[in-house]
Amino acid sequence: MSSSLSLQTTPWLIRTPSSTRRMRLFCFSYAGGNAFNFFRWQEALDPAVEVCAVQLPGRSARIAEEPIGSLPALLQAVAPVISRMDDLPCAFFGHSVGALVAFELSRYLRLHGLSTPSHLFMSGCHAPQFRSPTRQLHTLSDTQFTEVLREYEGTPPEVLESRELMELLLPAIRADFAIAENYRYRHGPLLSMPISVFAGREDLNKEPGQVDGWQKETSGACQVTWFDGGHFFVNSQRAAVLEQLNAELTASLCV
């Protein structure tokens, strides 16, 4: 596939349209990430899959907007955007808090009688019923919170050292952490689509149910794929992640 991408952007989405598209893949980033984390994914996936990366308020071109730190408010804002694009089947991919958003968005869409994704890809995220206790890190001071981000190794050191950049980025990162740390699981009817779980071998996922517990959320199949690396294996093992993702999406297209 050509390395030249023709993007279409809206406030909420960055898309790479294709005349051969037969499915959309909506992508939700990890805390502090943005839609451009998925900028080059289209090149690695089947041309029949249109990558639609979700751009939340408070980041990139939306940096001046107030971030959304409440999951119910975020679902209410994102659901209409996704539901308006129901002319093709779709799948959701989310990493870390992005996976949590994608999962709860799927339940929200079903609850409101809207089209749901045909496949969920839950990456780097503990199963909702088996989440570890949270530390409320989003309430820390800027200095303390920055040091926590340094430990997570998901933010480049040069960004962490830039006071000006961190002043711009911290509100959105705090909002994402607040969504994850204030999350409370509620039992509901099982989803019916298959769930693919991507997990890092060195991530903090060793408690019972944190990985395979996703099976409790669907009546469909649940497949776990392990990758080398820690929590941000989605970046360090990008090629392997995209190879697996493309194989499963291609199989869905064949069905």
Residue 87 CA: distances (Å) to CA of 103, 104, 115, 154, 217: 21, 22, 10, 35, 26
Specify if 59 maps to a domain. Answer: yes
- Cβ atoms of residues 35 and 54 within 8 Å: yes
Whichever domain contains 42, its CATH number is: 3.40.50.1820
Of 80, 116, 88, 90, nearest in space to 188 by CA: 116
What is the DSSP track for 2-21?
Answer: -S----EE-SSEEE---TT-
Of 241, 239, 255, nearest in space to 122 by CA: 241
Residue with tokens 């993007």: 7
Per DSSP, the three-state class of 202 is: coil
Number of domains the chain contains: 1
pLDDT at residue 5, as a whole number: 60
Specify if 91 maps to a domain. Answer: yes
The answer, yes or no, to whether residue 2 has pLDDT greater than 60, is no
Specify if 177 maps to a domain. Answer: no
pLDDT at residue 6, as a whole number: 63
d(CA 66, CA 56): 10
- Cβ atoms of residues 202 and 174 within 8 Å: no
Specify if 149 maps to a domain. Answer: no
Q: In what order do the strands lie in the sheet with 119-123?
A: 8-9, 13-15, 49-54, 23-28, 90-95, 119-123, 195-200, 222-227
Digit-coded pLDDT (tens) for 206-216: 999 999 999 99
Other beta carbons within 10 Å of 55: 19
Confidence of residue 82 (pLDDT cuts 50, 70, 90): very high
Question: Mean pLDDT score of the chain, rounded to an integer?
Answer: 93
Specify if 240 maps to a domain. Answer: yes
Specify if 81 maps to a domain. Answer: yes
Other beta carbons within 10 Å of 72: 11
Looking at the chain, the whole-number percentage of residues with pLDDT higher than 70 is: 97
Specify if 115 maps to a domain. Answer: yes
Residues classed as catalytic: 96
| Structural domain boundaries, residue 234 | 8-131+189-254
CA dihedral (44, 46, 49, 53) in degrees, to 10, reads 0
Radius of gyration of the chain (CA): 17
The answer, yes or no, to whether residue 4 has pLDDT greater than 70, is no
Digit-coded pLDDT (tens) for 33-50: 999 999 899 999 999 999
pLDDT at residue 177, as a whole number: 95
The answer, yes or no, to whether residue 56 has pLDDT greater than 50, is yes
Specify if 142 maps to a domain. Answer: no
